[in-house]
Amino acid sequence: MQTAHHFQITDSVTMPYLLYLPDDYTPDTEQVWPFILFLHGSGERGDTPDIIRLHGLPRLIETQPDFPYIVLSPQCPMDTRWPEQIDNVIALLDSALNALRVDHSRVYLTGLSMGGQGSWHLGATYPDRFAALLPICGRIPPVEGFPEKVCALQDVPVWAFHGAKDDRVPAEQAEQMASILHDCGGHVKLTIFPDADHFCWDRVYRDPAVWDWLQAQRR
């Protein structure tokens, strides 16, 4: 099950998050589990982590209690975006990786909408931290160095997704990121759903081929 927590970053700053542990997870073993960092979209910002369950991977987990990955889902504060929270996210990630029985060769990053943008940014800023990325309908990060900075991911497998009928984040944003990453030697796949709008993430997270691909990626 997913449980809600608050991570104390400083005396005055906390980061809410959801944590999912597989049913067979136990700390008293030599077994380790693959790990996913999930970044939500703009509608789930705030300080009530239970609303993260509304969309994407946390929603899927609610219907699949046997999901075989540890999943960490931080919550972005209201009126900010993921690039502004990168240091806090990394602090929370490090705390989780140190405390849990994680397979450190299989730490993955994914996000949808604002979280797709956050995945591009966080992945390109810390490419050595992740075995693979799944950015979904994310725009180009409005951060100095992008979109060219995506080339930092040239050694990290990336599978990006977007809806061709997306009227919130144009599919050209994903196409540009994937094209630049491809041209600098990256291992990138891009799937554009011809009939999908912005809300295409359930199709991604419910596709067995996506999980087969992710499972095969290791650092």
pLDDT of residue 180: 98
End-to-end Cα, the chain, rounded Å: 27
Strand 33-39 with 70-74, pairing: parallel
pLDDT in tens, the chain (219 residues): 899 999 998 888 899 999 999 999 998 889 999 999 999 999 999 999 999 999 999 999 998 878 999 999 999 999 999 999 999 999 999 999 999 999 999 999 999 999 999 999 999 999 999 999 999 999 999 999 999 999 999 999 999 999 999 999 999 999 999 999 999 999 999 999 999 999 999 999 999 999 999 999 999
The residues spanned by each domain of the chain are 2-215
Q: What is the pLDDT of residue 13?
A: 85
Show Cβ contacts of residue 49 under 8 Å, excluding neighbours closer than 6 positions.
4, 5, 6, 16, 17, 18, 73, 75
What one-letter code names the amino acid at 87? Answer: D
Q: Could you give the 3-state DSSP secondary structure of residue 58?
A: helix
CA distance 168 to 149: 23
**Token duo for residue 155:** 């050694």
Spatial distance between the Cα atoms of 201 and 162, rounded to a whole number of angstroms: 9
* Cα gap 90→107, rounded to integer Å: 13
Contacts by 27-33, CB closer than 8 A, 24 or more apart: 27/100, 27/101, 29/101, 31/101, 32/101, 32/102, 32/103, 32/104, 33/68, 33/69, 33/70, 33/100, 33/101, 33/102, 33/103
Containing H/E element for 8?
strand 2-8
Amino acid in position 104: H
Strands (DSSP E) contained in 123-207 are: 132-136, 158-163, 188-193
Q: Which two tokens stand for residue 76?
A: 């972005």
Q: What is the DSSP letter of 18?
A: E
CATH class of the structural domain 2-215? alpha beta
Token pair for residue 186? 């990256």
